[in-house]
């Protein structure tokens, strides 16, 4: 900007071709050179630039208008970069010489002279104050936004920590149940091994199945403990066999739920059974909060290779008031089992969530 103003001043003075052009050019370029340092040294650079410009110019070069633009930039920078008396001092240093110069003119000083001198300095100063106010406001908004982000992250981490502690307890119960079953079946096999070989073999098969399931749940528990971002939700006392009760509870709260179940669900692995229940519970909670027509549909289907869950409702367009923790929790629960999750709005305004939890053949 100072370089542009210097060029403008040069073109103007050369076009006027008045006596004292060389001195006027030197004064304008000195002021512009000082203004190059206005961001690093606003007080010194702008004050010196203004005082240089107000220095009386030889001959009639005072008619040039470019110095007014240079002085305006200096005044604007003073108001925007400085505060309090440090900003008022340069303004006074600019105004006093200007008024003093007009008082020494060989004609009476009138109101128009006062207005002109004020217009040279005061509007740029006022605009600088406005820009400084906007800068301060933007800085406060940025700080508040950063604090809000930090607060949301803290809430998210606290929710994850609490959820992970609950999951660890629940997975411990799942593993303890499997190990207890193994102990019982192993004891039965020991009693049957001599008198009932077929019964002992069946008991050993049960021990093998329970052991595999316990190993799988132990692996998930270890993965959960290692991953500080896990946010799951499992409850060994709840599973898809409690799905009708869950749906009835939401219906009593005013959400009309259409439930469809296909396939055999009573032989699902414990972890998948619990996770599927939690996924439906979380999705219906969101539907109760945001569904515009208070209607949701739930479809749970067991195939040979996966457990499929589909939930949809007409969306209101509002965001999740929980900061997305619900969907994040669902995604993490599914990730534990290497499943897949898709969700989003359709063209006709419905929110559709589809989850797929893979099933290993020997877990059935």
Residue 333 has pLDDT above 80, yes or no: no
The pLDDT of residue 166: 62
Can you tell me which residue has the tokens 């519970």? 281
Dump strand ranges (E) for 3-160.
none
Instruction: Identify the residue with better confidence: 212 or 232.
Output: 212
Domain with CATH 1.20.5 in the chain: 152-226
Question: How many whole angstroms separate alpha carbon 318 and alpha carbon 296?
Answer: 16
Tokens standing for 165?
């502690």
pLDDT digits (tens, 9 = 90+) for 171-203: 666 666 666 666 666 766 666 666 777 776 776
Can you give the pLDDT at residue 110? 56
For 266-301, what is each residue's pLDDT tens digit?
888 877 888 899 889 888 988 888 888 889 999 999
Decide if 306 contacts 340 (C-beta within 8 A).
Answer: no
Q: Looking at residue 260, what is its pLDDT?
A: 93
Q: What is the pTM of this model?
A: 0.47
- pLDDT above 80 for 242: yes
pLDDT at res. 57: 42
**Per-position DSSP letters for 266-293, written without gaps between them:** TTS-HHHHHHHHHHHHHHHHHHHHH-SS
Please check whether residue 50 is in contact with residue 93, taking contact to mean a CB–CB distance below 8 angstroms.
Answer: yes
In CATH, the number for domain 240-363 is 3.30.565.10
Does the domain at residues 152-226 carry the CATH identifier 1.20.5?
yes
Q: Could you tell me where in the chain the CATH 3.30.565.10 domains are found?
A: 240-363
Contact call for residues 128 and 76 (beta carbons, < 8 A): yes
Quick check: 318 pLDDT over 60? no
Residue 191 or residue 339, greater confidence: 339
- What local confidence, expressed as pLDDT, does residue 348 receive? 86
């Amino acid at each position: 900007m100072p370089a542009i103003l210097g060029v403008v001043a040069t073109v103007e003075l050369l076009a006027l071709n008045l006596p004292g052009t060389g001195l006027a050019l030197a004064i304008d370029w000195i002021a512009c050179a000082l203004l190059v340092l206005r961001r690093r040294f606003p007080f010194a650079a702008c004050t010196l630039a203004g005082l240089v410009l107000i220095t009386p110019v030889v001959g009639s070069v005072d008619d040039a208008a470019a110095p007014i633009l240079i002085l305006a930039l200096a005044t604007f920078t003073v108001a925007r970069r400085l505060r309090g008396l440090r900003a008022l001092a340069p303004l006074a240093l600019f105004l006093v010489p200007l008024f003093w110069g007009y008082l020494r003119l060989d004609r009476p000083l009138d109101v128009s002279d006062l207005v002109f001198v004020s217009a040279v300095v005061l509007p740029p100063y006022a605009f600088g104050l406005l820009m400084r106010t906007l800068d301060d406001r933007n800085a406060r908004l940025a700080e508040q936004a950063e604090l809000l982000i930090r607060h949301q992250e803290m809430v998210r981490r606290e929710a994850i920590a609490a959820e992970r502690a609950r999951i660890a307890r629940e997975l411990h119960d799942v593993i303890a149940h499997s190990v207890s079953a193994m102990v019982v079946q192993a004891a039965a096999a020991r009693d049957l091994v001599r008198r009932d070989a077929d019964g002992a073999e069946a008991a050993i098969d049960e021990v093998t199945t329970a052991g595999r399931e316990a190993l799988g749940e132990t692996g998930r528990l270890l993965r959960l403990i290692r991953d500080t971002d896990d946010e799951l939700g499992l409850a060994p006392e709840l599973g898809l066999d409690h799905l009708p009760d869950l749906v009835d509870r939401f219906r009593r709260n005013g959400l009309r739920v259409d439930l469809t179940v296909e396939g055999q669900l009573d032989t699902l692995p414990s972890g998948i059974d619990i996770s599927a229940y939690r996924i439906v519970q979380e999705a219906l909670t969101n539907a109760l909060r945001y569904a515009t027509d208070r209607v949701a549909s739930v479809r749970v289907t067991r195939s040979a290779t996966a457990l499929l869950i589909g939930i949809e409702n007409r969306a209101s367009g509002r965001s999740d008031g929980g900061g997305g923790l619900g969907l994040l929790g669902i995604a993490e629960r599914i990730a534990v089992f290497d499943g897949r999750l898709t969700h989003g709005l359709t063209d006709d305004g419905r929110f559709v969530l589809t989850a797929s939890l893979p099933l290993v053949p020997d877990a059935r």
